[in-house]
Each structure stands twice: as C-alpha cells, then as structure tokens.
C-alpha cells in the first residue's frame, strides 16, 4: 500500500505533454532518497515518470518540516500538495 495524498479538488495533472489526467488522489508507490545526488524522488501509481520533490544541495539539506533534511511522509504529502494542489 502506498501513501495517498488527497487533493482539495480534482486537478488536471500533466503526465506527459499529450497525456493529462484528472485526479483527486495521488498514490506514492516508492520514495527514493539519494544523498549522492541531493534529491528526493517519488514514483506515483497514476503517473509514469518520477516526481522530484527536493533537488540540489540547499533544498535537500533543508527539506522536511524541521528544515534539517529529515523528511517524513507528512513532508512528502505537503510537498505534493504544494506542487499539484494549487
């Protein structure tokens, strides 16, 4: 079972330039934390390509609610809402 993020309403999500999906829920199947690349990436059931949540030394080092690079499921949910639930 993956982490589900419920959007406040149905949103059009561009999966590929020619592939727009109207979704109300995003299901995270896998999360990848890569200290070497300074990225945190998620893979969503509904989309084919990964979504980079945090990228770069500064963003990676300060991600998460505590701002110290220690993120939780709640931080992933908040970041996905920040990206998609606008």
pLDDT score of 37: 93
pLDDT per 10-residue tile (average), the chain, 86 residues: 84 73 91 94 91 94 87 93 87
pLDDT at 30: 94
Domain count across the chain: 1
The per-residue pLDDT for 85 is 85
Domain that holds residue 36: 3-84
**In Å, how far are 6, 48, 65 from 16, measured between CA atoms?**
21, 8, 30
């Amino acid at each position: 079972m993956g982490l589900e993020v419920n959007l406040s309403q149905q949103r059009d999500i561009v999966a590929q330039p020619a592939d727009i999906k109207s979704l109300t829920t995003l299901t995270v199947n896998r999360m990848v934390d890569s200290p070497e690349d300074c990225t945190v990436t998620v893979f969503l059931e509904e989309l084919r390509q990964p979504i980079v949540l945090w990228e770069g030394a500064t963003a990676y080092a300060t991600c998460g609610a505590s701002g110290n690079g220690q993120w939780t499921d709640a931080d992933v949910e908040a970041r996905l809402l920040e990206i998609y639930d606008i």
